[in-house]
Amino acid sequence: MVARFVEDEPLGTAGAIRFAAAGRVDGPFLALNGDVLGDADFGALVRAHAAAGATASIGLTPVDDAALLDEWVPRATLVLDCSDNFATRHAVNRACVALKKPLVSGAGIRFDGQVAVFDARLADSPCYECLFPEQAEPEEVRCAVMGVFAPLTGIIGCMQAAEAIKCLTGIGLSLAGRLLLFDALRTEWRSIRVPRDPQCSVCAAAA
Ligand SMILES: [Zn+2]
């Protein structure tokens, strides 16, 4: 079973389409605005996004129901985070670390995208908190405000789908422990090693 976390933004839609097209969807999808979407509802979601076009309600969905994570993450094999704000990412990360669920994270803003895999099942894998400590409180830059190069969402969503499928099927070399950065203006990918923080308030405490 695969739980898919979608917050109304194109990144989630792009990743979901690729994931579904690869035939790996065999469980419910979950939108963090409280709508739980089964397989039959997925087509409706995609059509709704398509109908909304470029003016889809990006980033307007508040994530205020942690109970959804408590309910669905335990039932997930893998979680994809396509949200667009730090609060959601940290909440999803905490749930995944606590339950040792692999997390495939993706983000895009303007012309810059990033993909990372945090696999709490691996002893040396960092978590999202190791990489972006919540206490550091970096300035929130949401794509709804700053805009995003439209193809970037599809590119990052596809990369998330690829990592998810690899993780689920156990093929290839996981991205866990690395942060993949994409510069769409230069068309350059960079891979940065991300060590686990032994003092991490999330994964060190859970180990
Ligand atoms: Zn950590």
- 53-86 per-position pLDDT tens digit: 433 332 323 334 566 677 777 877 888 887 777 8
Distance 124 CA to ligand 1 centre (A): 10
Going by pLDDT thresholds of 50, 70 and 90, the confidence category of residue 92 is confident
- Mean pLDDT, residues 197-205 taken together: 92
In order of their start, the domains of the chain are 3-206 (3.40.50.720)
- How many angstroms separate the Cα of 137 from the Cα of each of 97, 132, 133? 20, 9, 7
What distance in angstroms lies between residue 34's CA and the mean position of ligand 1's atoms? 27
Supply the pLDDT for residue 98: 93
- Regarding beta strands 36-37 and 178-183, do their DSSP bridges make them parallel or antiparallel, or are they unpaired? unpaired
How far away, in angstroms, is 148 Cα from ligand 1 center? 28
Mean pLDDT of 103-120: 93
| pTM of the predicted model over 0.85 | no
The Å distance, Cα 104 to ligand 1 centre, comes to: 14
> 14 or 121: which carries more pLDDT confidence?
121
176 CA to middle of ligand 1, Å? 12
